[in-house]
Structure 1
Amino acid sequence: MGRPLAPSVEVRRAGDRMRTRTAWLDSRHSFSYGAHYDPANTHFGLLMANNEDVLAPGSGFEPHPHRDMEIVTWVLEGALRHEDDTGHCAVIRPGTAQRMSAGSGVVHSERNAEGSREVHLVQMWVLPGSSAGPPGYEQLDIGSALETGELLVVASGMRKHAQDRAVSLRQEHAALYAARLPPGVMVMVPGAPLVHVFVTRGVVQLEAAGELSAGDAARITVGDGQHIVAGPGGAEVLLWEMRRGLG
């Protein structure tokens, strides 16, 4: 038998992300996106996009199409209004888990729901387990559960999360977790072939990687249960567990 693979952690700093700036949008991309293309950075595992967006008051993304993608949106500040051509219309606020399955095709818009302040959000795209199928939408407020300081299952297609996930994914090999950590509180990274850690607020210490600040990410291959500890001001993290990559 061969030796087991050793874990590896690749840190990607906030300032190294690709950036799109317009009169109403400031967007930072963890992977190739739109006009920004890096053939060496198109995805990690099943995660195809991890965009951190700030939308000006009264602005947003006009109706545009998607297909064959699981899209999870996590609002950090403000409120985002979602509308699509299947009849779904909802406002997403901090602490809301929202998943849109583009399926065979959907047209949707996303706009700042408030007229006086920016909306700040992270949007993540994961490949579905199978193509086509009808579009779908699911949303749940988990804000009160976040206050426990535990690692919560936001979205998952894994069988082990059938009872404790907030919303479902059409991808049985992927799960998204969130944790809002008080100062000094620790959570464990799930042991998995591929794990993506993204810090949305504050500062954390990640075992085998050191300090990560807001906007920093860590790409873990062959994760073995590293721990994350929040800094003095507390922190929030989003974490993808992936049991396989592309192909």
Structure 2
Amino acid sequence: MKNTILHKANTRGHADHGWLNAYHSFSFASWYNPERVQFGMLRVLNDDTVAAGMGFGTHPHDNMEIITIPLEGDLAHKDSMGNTEVIKTGDVQVMSAGTGIQHSEFNPNADQHTKLFQIWVFPKYRNVTPRYQQITLDITEQKNNFAQILSPNAEDAGVWIYQDAWFYLADFDKNFSKTYYINKENNGMYVFVISGTITVDGQEIETRDGLGICEFNDLEFIATSDAKFLLMEIPMEQ
């Protein structure tokens, strides 16, 4: 029997700092909701807009898998491992923070905001050696498909992390349908709609809604409008 939890877009935490307009699907910073701390091993899903020329100063992380997906614009990244990169729309970046890293993230453009998702996943192993990975996606693979962008396996498509998780991006035409089959028994799924409207096993979710599902083997996705969405298959327990 599937269990679901619906997080409507307007129930998310919100913080507008001027330079940063942030929406939190799960408790983050000054926004705390005891019923919205995490979904399984998914700890943070932040939907951020960074003003032109602004960004996050150097700050630390440890024992977390940190995934960044730019949606519009670019993000300049610098870290204590010596990486200096620009993450562009269509890229995906991951850091395994492990024993500890420090990094900064800035919008390098003077005339354009940057929109991004930052996602934190609890790792399977603690205190690993920190690592960095960044790739450019072939966005054509997302058209009417679940295009894998993350997995536990370095040899698979996308980036990899220290957790039994699989992420996909999808760009469905209206009325297109496709069935998703779970990768690992007892994992859950958190679906986040980037734009448009879809149904997941009959449950309608709209732009910026999140839907958590557990105790399933397969799920039917139908686009009721043109729709882009992110699928995150996540262990429910460590």
Give the TM-score normalised by the residue count of structure 2: 0.93
Consecutive unaligned residues of structure 1, counting only runs of 5 or more, are 1-5
The equivalent residue for 1:199 is 193
* Matching residue within 72, 77, 84 for 1:82: 77
Matching residue's letter, 2:13: M
Are 2:142 and 2:169, in contact at CA under 8 Å, matched by a contact in 1? no
The equivalent residue for 2:136 is 141
- Measured against aligned partners, the alpha-carbon deviations of 1:145-168 in whole angstroms (never above 9, x if no partner) come to 4354311111111xxx55432111
The equivalent residue for 2:110 is 115
Between the aligned partners of 1:242 and 1:23, the Cα distance in structure 2 is 33
Question: Residues 2-151 of structure 1: matches in 2 within 5 Å?
Answer: 6-151=1-146
Shift of 1:121: 0.7
- Measured against aligned partners, the alpha-carbon deviations of 1:115-142 in whole angstroms (never above 9, x if no partner) come to 1111111111001111112111111111
Between the aligned partners of 2:114 and 2:202, the Cα distance in structure 1 is 33
Are 1:186 and 1:230, in contact at CA under 8 Å, matched by a contact in 2? yes
Are 1:9 and 1:209, in contact at CA under 8 Å, matched by a contact in 2? no
Structure 1 residues 104 and 162, CA gap change in structure 2 (3 angstroms): closer
Give the TM-score normalised by the residue count of structure 1: 0.89
Matching residue's letter, 1:204: I
Between the aligned partners of 1:83 and 1:229, the Cα distance in structure 2 is 40
Consecutive unaligned residues of structure 2, counting only runs of 5 or more, are none
Matching residue's letter, 2:191: V
* Matching residue within 183, 203, 210 for 2:174: 183
Matching residue's letter, 2:57: E
Percent identity between matched residues is 31
Q: Say whether 1:169 aligns with 2:172.
A: no
- CA RMSD between the two structures: 1.6
The equivalent residue for 2:231 is 239
- Measured against aligned partners, the alpha-carbon deviations of 1:71-114 in whole angstroms (never above 9, x if no partner) come to 11111111111111111111112221211111111111111121
Secondary structure in structure 2 of the residue aligned to 1:117: coil
Q: Name which of structure 1's ranges 20-29 and 220-229 shifts more when overlaid on structure 2.
A: 220-229
